[in-house]
Amino acid sequence: MILVTGGAGFIGANFVLDWLAHGDEPVLNLDKLTYAGNLHNLDSLKDDARHVFVQGDIGDRALLDRLLAEHQPRAIVNFAAESHVDRSIHGPEDFIQTNVVGTFRLLEAARHYWNALPAAKKEAFRFLHVSTDEVYGTLAPFDPAFTEDNKVEPNSPYSASKAASDHLVRAWHHTYGLPVLTTNCSNNYGSLHFPEKLIPLMIVNALAGKSLPVYGDGMQVRDWLYVRDHCSAIRRVLEAGVVGQTYNVGGWNEKPNIEIVHTICTLLDELRPRADGKKYAEQITHVKDRPGHDRRYAIDARKIERELGWRPAETFESGIRKTVQWYLDNPDWVANVQSGAYREWVARQYEGEKEGAQA
């Protein structure tokens, strides 16, 4: 069995589904079920004995100790995190509690559990920490892409909290010998993505006839990684990654935000034309940029390809078409996640303050 934390969120749920689609090893899934954690993401596993769900917080040390002792996982894959930059600007404390304090308590629980394992199980155990390219800061237009050796220079409360968690994971390896692995991924997109991030927000707003708010000139550049490709990379790192190493995971798809929005509009024009015959691009609005907005991220993913033989399977063109089609095919999922709390957040962030959307 493996323990997956944050396994009801966007990337975590996709990973759980992907893991069980590729094998029969059970998953113990621990998720706090905050606004972005959604058990409906895992509806297909309701009667699957391989999936054991527990609602709880990685900051709850007593719960962690009990779960580890009871289920004896051979690995921990840590997705649990607060992840939205805009939310971190408005309320950074939750990010410190979950991403820093929570990771610390999870590491401590893992360390004490690992120390007590028999020699063979101790040797095989892994703690895989899932992080972000945002810890590296921002790049100028012609700078080389981030490698694993780049200096960490976070610029938002979110990225600072993730950088801190990365440092804790590294320190627990070097100080205590805990067998850790870290992945730093670029911007994920795909099914089950909570509609506050750029791509799902654009799709949902377009279909609802709302404005498509783009920060500033929309020329912020990101590397885009299809979520199922990210899942396959994590499986590969867990299987063959070198203990103590960091692996950058990217999609080789650097694109400015405004191009992403236009691509979504073009696909919707094809797949779900507006009733009035107009183009979805007419709904695009440029709004005030957010504070400390990083201009460019780009991931150099050659290390994971060279050492572990992993490359993304999807192009951006194939992945974004699958993503748009998924949202068109799953309106009930979209309606369910748009709870009162979500609508309140969107009203405050995008209507009250007239700011835009960013992944």
Residues facing 183 on adjacent strands: 130, 247
| Each residue's pLDDT expressed in tens, for the chain with a length of 359 residues | 999 999 999 999 999 999 999 999 999 999 999 877 888 899 999 999 999 999 999 999 999 999 999 999 999 999 999 988 888 999 999 999 999 999 999 999 999 999 999 999 999 999 999 999 999 999 999 999 999 999 999 999 999 999 999 999 999 999 999 999 999 999 999 999 988 889 999 999 999 999 999 999 999 999 999 999 999 999 999 999 999 999 999 999 999 999 999 999 999 999 999 999 999 999 999 998 878 788 999 999 999 999 999 999 999 999 999 999 999 999 999 988 876 565 565 566 655 444 344 44
* pLDDT attached to residue 38: 87
CA dist., res. 306 & res. 229, Å (int): 17
H or E segment to which residue 150 belongs: none
CA dist., res. 41 & res. 320, Å (int): 19
CA dist., res. 304 & res. 309, Å (int): 7
* pLDDT attached to residue 357: 42
Query: 116 exposed, middle or buried (CB, 10 Å; 0-12, 13-18, 19+)?
Result: exposed
Q: Is the dihedral of CA 285, 136, 180, 94 positive or negative?
A: negative
Residues facing 165 on adjacent strands: none
* pLDDT attached to residue 344: 66
CA dist., res. 173 & res. 125, Å (int): 13
Question: Which tokens sit at 105?
Answer: 């308590």
Q: Give Cβ neighbours of residue 175 (< 8 Å, ≥ 6 apart).
A: none
Cβ atoms of 37 and 105 within 8 Å: the answer is no
Which residues are annotated as catalytic? 133-134, 158
CA dist., res. 47 & res. 103, Å (int): 30
Question: Which tokens sit at 340?
Answer: 């009162």
* pLDDT attached to residue 358: 43
| Cα three-residue angle 226-145-355, rounded to 5 degrees | 65
| Cα three-residue angle 136-230-49, rounded to 5 degrees | 130
* pLDDT attached to residue 336: 84
Q: Give Cβ neighbours of residue 37 (< 8 Å, ≥ 6 apart).
A: 6, 8, 9, 31
Q: Can you give the pTM of this predicted structure?
A: 0.92
Backbone torsions φ then ψ of 103, nearest 5 degrees = -65, -40
- The beta strand positions in the chain, using DSSP E, are 2-5, 27-31, 51-55, 75-78, 126-132, 180-185, 187-189, 212-215, 221-226, 246-249, 254-256, 284-287
* pLDDT attached to residue 85: 85
Domain boundaries, the chain: 2-190+225-252+293-315
User: What's the Cα-to-Cα distance from 68 to each of 1, 15, 49, 92, 243, rounded to whole Å?
Assistant: 11, 20, 18, 30, 21
For domain 2-190+225-252+293-315, give the fold. Rossmann fold (3.40.50)
* pLDDT attached to residue 343: 53
Name the residue among 69, 66, 67, 54 with its Cα closest to residue 7: 54
